[in-house]
Amino acid sequence: MAQTAAPGNRPGLKNTWQRLVESWLRRRAPIHPPLQLAYRQIFILPTRFGWMLGLLMGAMLIGSLNFNNNLGLLTTFIVAGLGVNSMLLAFRNLHKLAIRGGMANPVHAGQTAHYQLSLQSTDERPRPSLYVRHEVKRVGIDIDDSSAVSITVPLLTHQRGWHRPGRMRIETTHPLGLFRAWAWFWPDRPYLVWPQPAERPPPLPEGGGGPGGREQRHQVEGEDFYSLRQWREGDPLHRIAWKASQRHQDLLSREFREEQAPELVLTLDRAPARDLESRISIVTAWVLQAEQLDRTWTLQLGSLELGPDHGPPHRKRCLRALAEL
Amino acid sequence: MKLPEQAIPLHTVGWTVAAMLVAALPHLAAMPTGLAVLIVAAAAWRLAAAHYGWRPPPRWLRILLTLGAVALVVFTLGALWGRRTAATLLCVMLAAKMFELFRIRDLRMVASVCFFLIATQFLFNERLFYLVYLATGAMVAVVALIQIQRYEDSTLTGRNTADPDHRSLIRQGAVMVMAALPVALTLFVLFPRLAQPLWGLPEQVMDGRTGLSDSMSPGSIANLFLDDSPAFRAEFDDQPPPPQHRYWRGPVLWHFDGNTWRQSQFASRQPAIPVPADSDTIRYSIQLEPHEQRWLFVLDYPVNAPAEAHISLDYQVVDQRPVTSLKQYEMVSNPDFIDMPELHESLQRQALSLPPERNPRTLDRAQELRERYPDDRELIMAVLRWFNEEEFYYSLETTPTGRHGTDEFLFDLRVGYCEHYASAFAILMRAAGIPTRVVTGYQGGFWQPNGQYLLVRQSDAHAWTEVWLEGSGWTRVDPTSAVAPERIEQGSRSAVGHSRHMLDTEWLRTLRNRYDRFQHLWNRWILGFDAERQQRFLERLGMPDTRPGTIAVIMVVAMAMVIAAITLVVLGRSWRHRDPLLRAWHRLERRLHRTGVRRTGGETPLELLKHAAGIMPDQAAELERLAEHFGKARYGPDPAGHAELFIEHSKAFKPVSPNEPGALNSV
Amino acid sequence: MSESAPRRPARPEQLAADLARARAAVNEVIVDKPEVVDLAFSALLAGGHLLIEDLPGVGKTTLAQALSLAVGGNWQRIQFTSDMLPADIVGVSVFRRDDESFEFRPGPVFANVVLADEINRATPRTQSALLEAMAEGQVTVDGQTHPLPRPFFVIATQNPLDLTGTYPLPDSQLDRFLLRTRIGYPSAAEERRLLVEPDRRSLLESMQPVLDPERVGELIDAATGLHVAEPVLDYIQALIAASRAHAAVQAGLSPRASLALIQCARAHALVRQQDFCLPDNVKQVFPALAAHRLQPLAESGMSGDDIVADILANTPVP
């Protein structure tokens, strides 16, 4: 079963609140990438430092007014002007920023998935100090010109299956750190989390699962010596078996075949554990082990049968099947 | 305390410390040298710490340092609690902050407090020159904030901030400060001003600059003669009075104790007899530089008092509060008024009293004269004649005198200036039984023909006397004019025969007068922009209602308009290229865009032009030529010439959309 | 026909004129596909090899033949079949009984232009023999190295749909080819011309070589020296960076690919008779250069061509 769980899987007040916020934002503007940030998506508020400077400005204002000190007032108002411009510049830093894509390579549960987003300034304006915030993590990036840059958001993974990263926030406090402009977005392309491999898995279950094993694909070339045959035109020199040729008064070539490894069939039933999740992690560990040993294996999950095959693509197929289970 | 992973780089700390030092500079100059040195040393420590990667000192040491610094301020300045002490304390606290300047939050705090420090300085001095201070201080503080923001980014983006381009940083800072001006000026003009202060103003001397004091002893005015700074400026509705009538009345002194002349409690508290206005009144307005005293300078005799000021019985105009910032007031004076045709007995007693056992020779001379001239007027003329004909000199170089100072002056030294003459004359008169008082103030002034105002400097300070005569009341007699008439006719400068210091050359004086015109405008439009002026300004703009509430509404509306305009500029303006070729290209692109030829994301310039040629076949040849020039100019090995050709042609090129009627005409 | 006397290097104008004639000659045979012809010439002048991937009957072989004829020099055609051995490509060392020694008999790969028809029909072993020869410019048989002639240009064709009994080139080997292109169906008007006019292939028989190996060498040199302005370099870098940042790509383009891109863009500019490189050149060679080098993530559901189109559409041209 594919899961599309949001982070913080508790059906609490917080979740309801987030859903409310999401539906409100959705009514305002698109919230899933690809999107281009516009007026309706961008929010702006002073930062803590901004509030502090505001307070300082208030003190300056009252003092200058009281002393009827016009230069003091002018200083105060210059600070106000800086604030207004800061706000606009922070807004502009996000305005017309395109957010695209969003995907992560699969990782095992417990590892950090790197969710890649592509950001691009659509009007050739440099966009310094952008941050993408997801839950508590924050990653920063600068866009110097109009070329697209990718930003990688680390996601903590807990459960296998398909996940959506949930709410992300792109924000900026450019240029003076007085105002924070931000926009929410929900990347909707899910990412895959493979099951966590068992830490100390039992040894690989040798021997065929099916009746009599399967016919191996005939490998023409291999590492191990297979037989001698008559030399044909085109056989390389180093394949000629000189000693044997001498004995037989004819040129003989050596032929090689790959070793016939015993077949490996992995099923959940063969995993020595009780609950489903532990079995899945054992099988996951087996798949990884088999690939490391360069073995050929078959994965049977109910009616689904993958293989026999070997190599990274097969491993990925198997892991995905295990993740989606 | 949690430290960031890496130490804050030197340039970030450097700009922040620089912002602090620039903002503190005038404060440093005004505080005791020891404290100033400590503050600079703290800043230097922080820079060295950034350079050598020192750790912040332990917490207890920082607290100790802070407490020590505060204690030092209290110890040094504690007796004189006031604005200056508060500002000094602020500087010292900032210096103590240097030892915990290891977090982004602290850096930002220091940079922003710089604005406060700058504003504080204007409580002491608001002269035009300080505009440079304001601009520089704000700019450096903004640069510091930009640099702090970049540093914060670098902690998250991993971008290298090793070598920022300082010149471009300064430019950015300057641009940000300039960009803040529209909002700042709108607020400045429209922000409602307080008519009454919320709390009282402390009394304290400003930056050591003083004007006239409320007493006069020989030598007290002399220090003003060397001060060329402006005391006030006067603008007249009609012509200014001739030089010999420019007596600006200040404190009136009645009591003489042998050394010092002082005010009369009685006369300065009693309200004045109202002066009627008649056809010869002079109407004028004064911009008084702050002098930390309460009196306002006027011509004789003030008809009205400005708001919050009153006129005393001896026609001093006294404000409720000391003048601590530039003060503007409108005056009407009637020079023909007769002050006190009848002299009250108690006043007469005050105007005749002399300290006992002082100046016996002067008293003898007075008796002598009295016997020879029974008529008061004749006696006065005789004394003036004496001053004029005998060997009396006007000079600033005087010799200190002893107990019988006036005797020594009149009979031995005979060298002195207005104070000496006024004092000696008054003593002679009193000894002869003529009620006399001493008036201090300013005399003369420099007429700025271009600015149409009279500039009165501190060096124009003067002292003269008033004698009470039967029939004409208090009458001004200036004994200095008998000794050195040119002092009265041409101003204080001519009276002192030689240049007072080396730099006092003609062109320098011209320069100073020119500069003063700017200062005058500055005072008038920036410093003197108070509630009243704001009201008049708005009235002139055609606002019928100028109550503070309405002004607030106007301000909000104007601010909304200004912010909308800035928003348009900030968001609407497309990124402007510095390269003229690219600028021309973008202009062409915009023109094509308007006619419906839109460039898609990945379209190359030449593809766009080909695309346009497909839509506008009539102009295909022109577009092709543009494409050729642009290609060669932008991408070719030898762009010379092609860029200019492209710019020229693209300026001339007016794309015509085929479905516009104009296209038909052009075929 | 080449002259026998040694020649001085031709002047640039002469070179350009020769190239134009060669291009015209090929365009005469392959009607209505000037972009494909230009790409083919670009691969040649960038010193790389060309893979033409398309359905049968659209003129792959004709293009390859015309190109090899126009380029001149000796050319060989290898029709790949499933029973071919590496020796059939690179040559064999023949054991001579009479003097008990081995003699190297060069295979068809020893030619200036090699037309490798339907390369996916051969076994991977045989394919890799050719690919190695392409990559190294030499052939090693039984420990002996035999250099291939210069210039050495391989035009391989591959049918992407006919998969039964074939061995499509593995992804990792595809980047041995500098460019991969398609021909596509002719337009309706051209199709009509094909129907009514005499067979274009007969033109091949009467085609005269326009260039010769030496000329091609000079042209390759000329392409290498072509001016590439800063903005074009920026554009190349932006494209490469975008390929690396693209979310649907396993791995972006390598530095080798970026070198290949600039060289191809130069060659393309030369083919187009320009004396400097335009972003347009980069943009036109980019799909042929990048699509087969980018490996899309299976999850993304995008093909290499989709990704390339996406990158081009989203990379503004400086």
Best CATH choice for the domain C225-318 from the list 1.10.1060.10, 1.10.8.80, 1.10.287.130, 3.20.20.70: 1.10.8.80
Q: Helix or strand or coil: residue C20? A: helix
Considering only residues A85 and B546, tell me which one the structure prediction assigns the higher pLDDT: A85
On chain A, the residues whose CB falls within 8 A of the CB of C242 are 147-148
Task: In whole angstroms, give the CA distance from residue B588 to residue B626.
Answer: 10
Query: Which of C278, C284, C286 has the highest number of chain B CBs within 10 A, making it the mutation to test binding with B?
Result: C278
CA distance to partner chain B, nearest, from residue A313 (Å): 34
CB atoms within 10 A of CB C121: 20
The full length of chain C comes to: 318
Is B178 in the A-facing interface, judged by CB distances under 8 Å?
A: no
Distance (Å) from the alpha carbon of B636 to chain C's nearest alpha carbon: 6
Are residues B130 and A74, on separate chains, in Cβ contact within 8 Å? no
Straight-line distance from the first to the last Cα atom of chain B, in angstroms, rounded to the nearest whole number: 78
Cα dihedral B351, B355, B361, B364 sign: positive
A103 touches chain B (CB under 8 A): no
A213 located within any domain: no
Chain C residues close to B602, C-beta within 8 Å: 283, 312-317
Cβ distance of B632 and C315 shorter than 8 Å? no
Cα–Cα distance, A228 to A224 (Å, whole number): 12
Q: Which residues pair with C92 in a beta bridge?
A: C105
Contact C244 A237 (CB under 8 A): no
Do A128 and A29 lie in one domain? The reply is yes
Q: Which of B68, B23, B11, B17 is nearest to B43 (CA)?
A: B17
Contacts of B87 (CB under 8 A, 6+ apart): B27, B117, B120, B121, B123, B124
Cβ contacts (< 8 Å) between B634 and chain C: which residues? 229, 231
Chain A neighbors of B530, CB-CB under 8 A: 68, 70
% of chain B surpassing 90 pLDDT: 11
Among candidate residues B339, B330, B233, the one with its CA nearest the CA of residue B282: B330
Chain-chain contact of C278 with B600 (C-beta, under 8 angstroms): no
Map out the domains of chain C as residue ranges. 8-213, 225-318
The whole-number average pLDDT for the span B59-76 is 84
Instruction: Identify which of C87, C93, C242 has the shortest CB distance to residue A148.
Output: C242
Residue B463 to residue B436: CA distance in whole angstroms: 13
Cβ–Cβ contacts within 10 Å for residue B540, how many? Answer: 8
Tell me which residue in B602, B605, B634 faces C229 most closely, judged by beta carbons. Answer: B634
* Residue C78 near residue C213, CB atoms below 8 Å: no
**What ipTM was reported for this prediction?**
0.76
Low-confidence ranges of chain A (pLDDT < 50): 1-10, 209-224, 258-259
Whether residues A67 and A137 share a domain: the answer is: yes
Give me the pLDDT at residue A178, please. 92
Residue C36 has pLDDT above 90, yes or no: no
Question: Is the Cβ pair B636, C227 closer than 8 Å?
Answer: yes
CB contact under 8 A, A76 and B149: no
Looking at the structure of chain A, the number of domains it has is: 3
Stretch B582-589: mean pLDDT, rounded? 78
B324 contacts on A by Cβ (under 8 Å): 67
CB of A162 within 8 A of CB of A194? Answer: no
From the CA of A75, how many Å to the nearest CA of chain C? 42
A136 shares a domain with A59: yes
Residue of B nearest to C280 (CA): B604
Q: Classify residue B25 by burial, with Cβ atoms within 10 Å: 0-12, 13-18, 19+.
A: middle
Q: Which residue has the higher pLDDT, A60 or C20?
A: A60
Cβ-contact A71, B527 below 8 angstroms: yes
User: Are residues A155 and A39 located together in one domain of the fold?
Assistant: yes
Residues of B forming the active site:
418, 462, 478
Which chain C residues contact residue A233 at CB under 8 A?
87, 92, 94
Q: What is the pLDDT of residue A209?
A: 45
Asked if the C-beta of B152 comes within 8 angstroms of chain A's C-beta atoms, the answer is: yes
Average pLDDT, stretch C117-135? 82
Evaluate whether C8-213 and C225-318 have a shared fold: no
Taking the C-alpha atoms of residue B133 and residue A72, their distance in angstroms, rounded to an integer, is 12
Q: How far is the C-alpha of A250 from the C-alpha of C97, rounded, in Å? A: 12
A146 CA to chain C: closest CA distance, Å?
7
The structure tokens 């009599």 sit at A212
Rounded average pLDDT over B357-362: 87
Cβ contact C247–A105 (<8 Å): no
pLDDT of residue B574: 56
Give me the residue from C87, C241, C244 closest to A233, CB to CB: C87
* Alpha carbon distance C44, C81 (integer Å): 25
Contacts of A235 in chain C (CB under 8 A): 87
Element (H, E) at C78: strand C75-79
Closest partner residue to A234 (CB to CB) among C92, C242, C248 is C92
Cβ of residue C88 closer than 8 Å to a chain A Cβ: yes
Q: Six-digit token pair at B82?
A: 């006031």
Q: Are A22 and A128 in the same domain?
A: yes
| Contact flag A124-C316 (C-beta cutoff 8 Å) | yes
Q: Give all chains having 3 or more CB-to-CB distances under 8 Å with chain C.
A: A, B
Q: Which tops the pLDDT comparison, A59 or B506?
A: A59
Question: Do both A247 and A311 map to the same domain?
Answer: no
Determine the structural domain holding residue A303 and report its residue range: 264-324
* A158, A269: one domain: no
Asked whether residue B3 carries a pLDDT value surpassing 50, the answer given is no
Comparing B126 with B17, the larger pLDDT belongs to B17
Q: How far is Cα A247 from Cα A188, in angstroms, rounded to an integer?
A: 71
- CB contact, 8 Å: B187 with chain A? yes
Judgement on whether residues A174 and A229 belong to the same structural domain of the protein: no
Give the homologous superfamily in CATH for domain C8-213.
P-loop containing nucleotide triphosphate hydrolases (3.40.50.300)
Amino acid B199 reads W
Question: Locate tokens 């004649």: which residue?
Answer: B385
| Residue B141 clears pLDDT 90, i.e. is over it | yes
Cα–Cα distances (Å) from B547 to A90, B187, B191, B193, in that order, read 36, 16, 12, 11
Contact across the interface for B637 and C276, Cβ inside 8 Å: yes
Whether residues C314 and A120 touch (CB distance < 8 A) is answered with yes
Which of C278, C283, C314 comes nearest B635 by C-beta? C278
Do A81 and A229 lie in one domain? The reply is no
Neighbours of C20 (CB within 10 A): 13
Strand A264-267 and strand A297-301: the pairing is: parallel
Cα(A253)–Cα(C109) distance, integer angstroms: 25
| Chains in touch with A (≥3 Cβ pairs < 8 A) | B, C
Query: Measured between CA atoms, how close is A176 to chain C, in angstroms?
Result: 29
pLDDT of residue B21: 93
User: Residue A52 and residue B201: Cβ atoms within 8 Å?
Assistant: no
Nearest residue of chain C to residue B582 (CA atoms): C318
Q: Residue C136 has what pLDDT?
A: 81
Pairs of residues, one from chain A and one from chain B, whose beta carbons lie less than 8 Å apart: 169
Looking at residue B163, what is its pLDDT?
66
Beta carbons of C229 and B635 less than 8 Å apart: yes
Query: Is A292 within 8 Å of A280 (Cβ atoms)?
Result: no
Minimum CA–CA partner of A240 in chain C:
C142
Amino acid residing at A310: H
Over range B49-58, report the average pLDDT: 85
In Å, how far is A61's CA from the nearest CA of chain C? 48
Give ∠ CA A244-A248-A254 in degrees, rounded to 5: 40
- Does some domain include residue A91? yes
Residue owning tokens 């002079």:
B282
Q: Does A204 fall in a domain?
A: no
Strands, DSSP E only, in B168-268? Answer: 215-216, 230-236, 247-256, 261-263
- Checking if the pLDDT of C9 tops 90, the result is no
Distances (CA, A) of B413 to B410, B416, C83, C179, C183: 7, 8, 135, 111, 118
Type of residue at B652: A
Tell me the three state secondary structure of residue B456.
strand
Residues B459, B228: contact at Cβ < 8 Å? Answer: yes
From the CA of A286, how many Å to the nearest CA of chain B? 39
Which among C143, C238, C300 is the nearest to A147, CB-wise?
A: C238
Beta-carbon separation of B635 and C279 below 8 A:
yes
Q: Is A314 among the domain residues?
A: yes
DSSP character string of B493-510: HHHSSS-SSTT--HHHHH
Q: Cβ distance B89 to B73 under 8 Å? A: yes
- Residue C300: which of A103, A124, A147 has the nearest Cβ? A103
In a domain, A55, yes or no: yes
Per-residue pLDDT tens for C247-303? 677 777 888 888 888 888 988 888 888 888 888 888 888 888 888 888 777 666 677
Q: Which residue of B has its CA nearest to A174?
A: B149
Q: Could you tell me if C305 lies within 8 Å of chain B, comparing CB atoms?
A: no
> Taking all residues of chain C, what is their mean pLDDT, rounded to a whole number?
79
Q: Residue B294 has what pLDDT?
A: 83
Indicate the helix (H) or strand (E) that contains B247: strand B247-256
> Does C222 contact B at CB distance below 8 Å?
no
Interchain CB contact of C251 with A (< 8 Å)? no
Q: For residue range B198-254, list pLDDT tens digits in order.
A: 665 544 444 444 567 777 776 666 666 666 777 888 888 888 888 888 899 988 988
Whether A186 is covered by a domain: the verdict is yes
Instruction: Specify the pairing of strand B436-443 against strand B247-256.
Output: antiparallel
- Mapped onto helix, strand or coil, the DSSP state of residue A120 is strand
